[in-house]
Homo-oligomer: A and B are copies of this chain.
């Protein structure tokens, strides 16, 4: 299900968070779909269950999944209103990166094109990155 780089400087749990976020955003994991249990996934990836749990907790904090004790962890159906704070922090990050890109000579049109491409492929299934 995942390919992890155990030798990377990037923590395992962070790699997990990124990959799962990607799967959720690209709707490969559907709303309310159950994720693998912490122990199952831990066995599969040959890492510690706590590491999985740390990733799941982070995803829950960020609002991408919800967990129920005894039942499992599931993809959070994305109601586009609950995340005002998160949207704001993302916008702040975006501003920083956009300013940096503009400073380095990237044209505004190019950035706009980037958005339009990503927006067009949204919901169109998987992406190749």
Interface residues of A (CB under 8 A from B): 21, 24-26, 78, 80-81, 83, 86-87, 90-95, 97-106, 108, 111-112, 114-116, 118-119, 122, 129
User: Considering the chains assembled together, what is the distance between the CA atoms of A122 and B114 in angstroms?
Assistant: 20
Report, nearest first, the 5 A-B pairs whose CB atoms are least far apart: A80-B105, A108-B119, A25-B103, A111-B115, A83-B104
| Contact in complex: B21, A95 (CB < 8 Å) | no
Provide the bound-state CA to CA distance between A101 and B129, in Å: 18
Contacts of A112 in B (CB 8 A): 112, 115-116
Q: How far is the CA of A118 from the CA of B105 in the complex (A)?
A: 13
Q: Are B78 and A95 in contact (CB under 8 A)?
A: no
How many angstroms from the CA of A116 to the CA of B111 in the assembled complex? 10
- Tell me if A98 and B115 are in contact (CB < 8 A): yes
How far is A68 from B119 in the complex, measured between Cα atoms in Å? Answer: 45
A111 and B94 contact, Cβ closer than 8 Å, known pairs A25-B99, A99-B25: yes
